[in-house]
C-alpha cells in the first residue's frame, strides 16, 4: 500500500466507524465497535502499523491524521453513549409516582350565570329562545313604538351595520337589547306566551358598570288578565332564587316607549349590603346608593301587541330586560366592583369560579 492509498484507507475507516456508531442501538454494540476500531488489535492500529514503511515527512503527516481519526471516533462513541443512556432514562417508568395534575378548564362565569338564569325561569314555565344578534331596525326599534327619528332611540347607543337595508325592516344593527325578540316571539306564537330570551347585546358604552358587549335576559309574558302583580312576583322570585332570601327588589317609575307603565328594577347591593357605604365609611364605589339598577320593565304597550298581531283588548302582558353581567356581579361574596373584569380573560379571576 503506498502513502496515498494509506491516507485514503484511513479516511474511509473514519467515515465507516462514525456511520456505524451513530446507528447503534445499545451500549454493548457500542463497546464492540470501540474494540473493532480503537482496540489494541483494531482497524486503526492495523493501519498505523504501516507507518514504518513511510519516509520521515510522510510519517509526521500520517501520525497527525491517525490522531485526528482516533479522536473523531472517540468523540462519536461518547456522544452516542450519552444519547443511549438518556433514551433509557426517558423510557423508564416509575408506576409509584403520583400522577401529573393537568389543568382543567371550566365554563366562563357568564355562561354559568346564563345557565342558572335559564333554569330559574324554566322551572316556572318560561321557554328559552334566542333571536338574532344582528337585527333589523324594525324589530329593535320601530315595532317597539320607536319610529324613525324618535329621540328615545338615542338611549340605545347603537352600532349600525354597513349593509343594504331591508325594504320593510330597514337598516341592520347589532341588537342593543333583547327586547328586539318580543315581536319576533309574538309572530312565532299566539298567547299564552312565556318567553325568556337570553342573548348578546351591543352598545357604545364602557365604564365600571357597562361593557360594549354584554348579555341580557328578556322575560315576556302575555295572556288574559296579566297585571303588574305578576311582574313584581316574577322579579321577586328571581331575586330570591338567584341571590338568596336577603336581597330585596324595588320597582321605580320610569319610561320606555314599549311599555306602559314602565319601571326600573333595582336589587339591593350585596357589596355594601344596601347601605351605600363601605365598612371604611367611604361611599360604595359600585352602587353609590345601596341599590343597583339591573333591569328595565313594564306592561307591554298596546302598540307593541298590535305590531305582534295580538289584540290589546283581549290580552295584556309584562316584559323585563335584565343585564346578565350586572345581575351576576351582585352575587353575595363575589365583590366584583368593575364589570369589565369579567371580559379581561385574566386567569387569576376566572379560575376562582
Q: Residues in the site for ligand FA5, rule: CB under 6 A?
A: 177, 179, 203, 205, 210-211, 214, 216, 218, 256, 259, 293-298, 319-323, 325-326
Q: Report the residue closest to ligand FA5, judged by CB.
A: 323
As to burial, measured by CB atoms within 10 angstroms (0-12 exposed, 13-18 middle, 19+ buried), residue 198 is buried
Q: Report in angstroms how near the CB of residue 344 gets to ligand FA5 at its nearest.
A: 15
Q: Which is nearer to ligand FA5, 43 or 326 (CB)?
A: 326
Asked if residues 342 and 336 have their Cβ atoms less than 8 Å apart, the reply is yes
With beta carbons less than 8 A apart as the criterion, state whether 297 and 320 touch: yes
Least distance between ligand FA5 and beta carbon 281 (Å): 28
Parallel/antiparallel/unpaired status of strands 134-136 and 159-160: unpaired
| 145 versus 179: smaller Cβ distance to ligand FA5 | 179
The set of cell numbers assigned to 50 is: 504501516
| Residue 256 CB, nearest approach to ligand FA5 (Å) | 4
If the CB atoms of residues 34 and 200 are measured against ligand FA5, the closer one turns out to be 200
Minimum distance of ligand FA5 from residue 347's CB (angstroms) = 23
Buried b (16+ CB within 10 A) or exposed e, 275-297: eeeeeeeeebebbeebbbbbbbb
* Residues 210/211/214/216 CA torsion (nearest 10 deg): 10
Distance CA 352, CA 110 (A): 13
Residue 169: CB minimum distance to ligand FA5, A: 18
| Dihedral (CA of 178, 179, 185, 191) sign | positive
What distance lies between CA 189 and its chain's CA centroid?
A: 34
Q: Tell the smallest beta-carbon distance from residue 200 to ligand FA5 (Å).
A: 11
Which of 239, 294 has the CB closer to ligand FA5? 294
Residue of 164, 219, 159, 222 lying closest to 189 (CA atoms):
222
β-partners of residue 298 are 262, 319
Q: Which is nearer to ligand FA5, 137 or 218 (CB)?
A: 218
Closest separation in Å from C-beta 88 to ligand FA5? 59
Q: Which of 295, 243, 247 is nearest to 268 (CA)?
A: 247
What is the nearest approach in angstroms of ligand FA5 to the Cβ of residue 148? 18
Task: Considering the complex, state which of residue 191 and residue 298 has its C-beta at the smaller distance from ligand FA5.
Answer: 298
Sort strands 193-202 and 213-223 into parallel, antiparallel or unpaired: antiparallel
Q: Which is nearer to ligand FA5, 135 or 325 (CB)?
A: 325
Nearer to ligand FA5, 84 or 212 (CB): 212
Amino acid at each position: 500500500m503506498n502513502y496515498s492509498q494509506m491516507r485514503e484507507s484511513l479516511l474511509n475507516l473514519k467515515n465507516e466507524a462514525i456511520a456505524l456508531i451513530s446507528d447503534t442501538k445499545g451500549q454493548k454494540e457500542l463497546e464492540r465497535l470501540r474494540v473493532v476500531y480503537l482496540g489494541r488489535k483494531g482497524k486503526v492500529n492495523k493501519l498505523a502499523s504501516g507507518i514504518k514503511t513511510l519516509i520521515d515527512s510522510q510519517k509526521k503527516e500520517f501520525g497527525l491524521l491517525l490522531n485526528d481519526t482516533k479522536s473523531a471516533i472517540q468523540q462519536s462513541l461518547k456522544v452516542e453513549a450519552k444519547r443511549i443512556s438518556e433514551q433509557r432514562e426517558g423510557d423508564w417508568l416509575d408506576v409509584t409516582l403520583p400522577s401529573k395534575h393537568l389543568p382543567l378548564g371550566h365554563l366562563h362565569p357568564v355562561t354559568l350565570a346564563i345557565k342558572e338564569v335559564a333554569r330559574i325561569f324554566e322551572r316556572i314555565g318560561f321557554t328559552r329562545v334566542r333571536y338574532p344578534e344582528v337585527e333589523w331596525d324594525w324589530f329593535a326599534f320601530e315595532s317597539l313604538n320607536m319610529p324613525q327619528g324618535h329621540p328615545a332611540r338615542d338611549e340605545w347607543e347603537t352600532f349600525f351595520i354597513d349593509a343594504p337595508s331591508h325594504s320593510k325592516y330597514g337598516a341592520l344593527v347589532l341588537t342593543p337589547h333583547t327586547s328586539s325578540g318580543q315581536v319576533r316571539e309574538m309572530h312565532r306564537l299566539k298567547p299564552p306566551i312565556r318567553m325568556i330570551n337570553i342573548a348578546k347585546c351591543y352598545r357604545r358604552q364602557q365604564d365600571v358598570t357597562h361593557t360594549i358587549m354584554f348579555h341580557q335576559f328578556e322575560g315576556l309574558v302575555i295572556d288574559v288578565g296579566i297585571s303588574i302583580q305578576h311582574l313584581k312576583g316574577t322579579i321577586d322570585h328571581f331575586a330570591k332564587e338567584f341571590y338568596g332570601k336577603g336581597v330585596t327588589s324595588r320597582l321605580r317609575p320610569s319610561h320606555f316607549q314599549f311599555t306602559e307603565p314602565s319601571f326600573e328594577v333595582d336589587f339591593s347591593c350585596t357589596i355594601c349590603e344596601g347601605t351605600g357605604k363601605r365598612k371604611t365609611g367611604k361611599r360604595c364605589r359600585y352602587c353609590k346608593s345601596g341599590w343597583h339598577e339591573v333591569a328595565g320593565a313594564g306592561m307591554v304597550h298596546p302598540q307593541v301587541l298590535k305590531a305582534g298581531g295580538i289584540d290589546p283588548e283581549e290580552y295584556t302582558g309584562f316584559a323585563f330586560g335584565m343585564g346578565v353581567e350586572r345581575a351576576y356581579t351582585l352575587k353575595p361574596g363575589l365583590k366584583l366592583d368593575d364589570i369589565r373584569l369579567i371580559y379581561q380573560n385574566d386567569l387569576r379571576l376566572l379560575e376562582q369560579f
